Amino acid sequence: MPLGWSNFHQYDLERLLKGWAFGQFDFLYLRIDFANMCNVGYAFVNFDSPMTIVKVKQQLDAEGWPGHLGSNKRAAMSYATVQGVESLIEKFRNSSVMLEAPQCRPRLFWTLHDVCADPLQWHLQSQEKPFPGPNNEAKLARSRQNAETQGLYPAHSREEHRRGYFHSNFDRGNPNSFFGRLAYF
């Protein structure tokens, strides 16, 4: 996103995407810096097909960011390490970010593919659908603890992160927990 768009919120991005790809995306998450409640400059969007990605990229290249006439900033799009709506749900459902305000959480949407089987469901297309709740309380507790002690998205420059020395109350039964305990004696 262009510089100066830090006050651009998830609902603004949703509105743009619905204009360009109505009913063709099922996941949206605009990362937020919780210290100042501004976006961090990128979002995760899961489109229903590769052709939709191409269409949205062409639209962005042709029109640019709305309201930024004359700006030479272009959208950069790349594939994320986590692919597919099911994988994204599993990644975020046990995250402490799901305990934040609704406008700061990842969101799911009904796509054309979801509603095409039942004509009575057409009105749901591009509407938000409920995000599944947590399915691993230990992961959620660990995520919550990490968010409280380090922030949701800690800087990776800290020495203990680079060397893998992070210790949590929930680290049990893995090699790091064994060697971590030895370091305390």
The pLDDT of 87-93, averaged and rounded, is: 96
Residue 60's pLDDT band (cuts 50, 70, 90): confident
Question: Residue 119 phi/psi, 5° resolution?
Answer: -60, -25
> Which residues are 30's β-sheet partners?
43
107-137 pLDDT, tens per residue?
999 999 889 878 888 899 999 999 999 999 9
For the CA atoms of 44, 45, 50, 56, the dihedral, rounded to the nearest 10 degrees, stands at -110
Tell me: pLDDT of 159 over 90. no
The percent of residues above 70 in pLDDT, for the chain, comes to 72
**Angstrom distances, CA of residue 92 to CA of 27, 44, 136, 168:** 11, 12, 11, 20
1-56 pLDDT, tens per residue?
555 566 778 998 999 999 999 999 999 999 988 888 888 888 999 999 999 999 99
For residue 183 the two structure tokens come to 């370091």
Q: What is the pLDDT of residue 109?
A: 97
Q: What is the pLDDT of residue 169?
A: 44
**What's the mean per-residue pLDDT of the chain?**
80
More confident site: 97 or 8: 97
More confident site: 145 or 158: 145
The percent of residues above 90 in pLDDT, for the chain, comes to 44
- Strands 38-47 and 128-129 come out as unpaired
For residue 47 the two structure tokens come to 């489109």
Q: What is the pLDDT of residue 153?
A: 54
